[in-house]
Amino acid sequence: MLEPFDDSYYMKKALQEAEAAYEKGEVPIGAVIVIEDRIIARAHNLTEQLNDVTAHAEMQAITAAANFLGGKYLQNCTLYVTLEPCQMCAGALYWSQISRIVYGAKDEQRGCGVMGTKLHPKTKILGGVLEQEASALIKRFFIQKRNLN
Amino acid sequence: MLEPFDDSYYMKKALQEAEAAYEKGEVPIGAVIVIEDRIIARAHNLTEQLNDVTAHAEMQAITAAANFLGGKYLQNCTLYVTLEPCQMCAGALYWSQISRIVYGAKDEQRGCGVMGTKLHPKTKILGGVLEQEASALIKRFFIQKRNLN
């Protein structure tokens, strides 16, 4: 049976991106952007490799999606990201006027929720999709990192 | 007499960047990043040319400065920017742990102050340096844009 194109389906694609980050020694966070059941951007965190705090998965995905669409606004798009966006990424999503944000695990320390970052009035947000998987991958990364140091 | 290397001196450099943005039809905002009296990054807003909401002057300056320094943290650096940073840029500056932010004009609508964006505890912020010049340039841009439409 074919898998339906639902939130879990796209979050699995974002998790694949997070795994790619993991394999590069990056904090494992991945993102995809979808319009009309089509993935138009895939990205994962590259802050270590690029030595750049702005290289979060979401930021790269926003740039890639706008490039694909030929316009800077991401109306009718949904971002799937394995961890709740931070202030920077939520701020970028604000400017993009994206229609929907779906995240996996909540970031209780630095997530846009606890930090009070404002989203665009046009943007809906939903958390907790494949939360366990997203959270387990991040925990595994930090346990391994601790053991290596 | 040589100009002293003070906040006004570097803000003038940021204003030159803002003027470069103006000439390209971009909202005229410019930024420079300074470490030990040396400018290590210059950038101006390119959101229209790049079709990318993330292409604010500050974001490009952060990436360029980290590239110059060979590390992603901007300790001992000062960002000079002609307009108060937005949520996205303040969020990026949070991650960079930059020592100091100096801005020209206040952004009463979308600035990090009114939006409540958190800065890093290590970061000091000062506004109002060459405020009139920064503000006048932005106002001139929007008046001209209105007249063209």
Q: What is the structure's pLDDT at B60?
A: 98
B126 — pLDDT class (breaks 50, 70, 90): very high
A11-32: average pLDDT: 98
> Are B87 and A118 an interchain contact pair (Cβ–Cβ within 8 Å)?
yes
Q: How confident is the model at residue A148 (pLDDT cuts 50, 70, 90)?
A: confident
DSSP one-letter code for B6: S
Q: Which CATH number fits domain B7-142: 3.30.420.40, 3.40.140.10, 3.10.129.10, 3.40.605.10?
A: 3.40.140.10
Tokens 């101006």 — which residue?
B44
Secondary structure of residue A24 in the 3-state scheme = coil
pLDDT score at A143: 94
Q: For chain B, what are the domain ranges?
A: 7-142
Helix (H, G, I), strand (E, B) or coil at A81: strand
**Paired tokens of A19:** 């795994």
Mean pLDDT over each residue of chain A, to the nearest integer = 96
Q: What is the ipTM, given to two decimal places?
A: 0.95
Q: Which of B26, B33, B54 to mutate to test the interface with A (most CBs of A within 10 A)?
A: B54
Q: Cβ–Cβ of B95/A53 closer than 8 Å?
A: yes
CA distance B128 to B13: 15
In single-letter form, the type of residue at position B33 comes to I
Cβ atoms < 10 Å from Cβ of A144 = 12
Quote the pLDDT of residue A95.
98
Confidence class of residue B3 from pLDDT cuts 50, 70 and 90?
confident
Distance CA A79, CA A19 (A): 18
- Candidates A66, A72, A94; nearest CB to B87: A94
DSSP B74: -
Q: Which helix (H) or strand (E) holds A4?
A: none
Q: Which of B3, B19, B48, B58 is catalytic?
A: B58
CA distance A23 to A144: 12
**Nearest chain B alpha carbon to A91:** B88
CA distance A60 to A53: 12
- Distance separating alpha carbons of residues A17 and A2, to the nearest angstrom: 21
B47 at A interface, C-beta within 8 A: yes
If contacts are CB pairs under 8 Å, which of residues 8-37 in chain A contact chain B?
Answer: none
Distance from CA of A32 to the nearest CA of B (A): 17
pLDDT for residue A29 = 98
Structure token digits, residue A107: 């970031």
Which amino acid is located at B73 in the chain? Y
What are the strands of the beta sheet with A30-35, ordered from one edge? A38-44, A30-35, A77-83, A100-105, A124-126
Tokens of B132: 């009139």
User: Is residue B50 over pLDDT 70?
Assistant: yes
In angstroms, the CA A140 to CA A147 distance is 11
B47/A72 touch (CB, cutoff 8 Å), yes or no: yes
Contacts of B63 in chain A (CB under 8 A): 52, 54
Say if CB B43 and CB B64 are below 8 A apart: yes
| Tally: H helices and E strands in chain B | 5, 5
Give me A76's structure tokens.
């009718």
| Cβ–Cβ below 8 Å for A86 and B67 | no
Which of B29, B27, B44 has the alpha carbon at shortest distance from B83?
A: B29
* Residue B1 predicted with pLDDT over 70: no
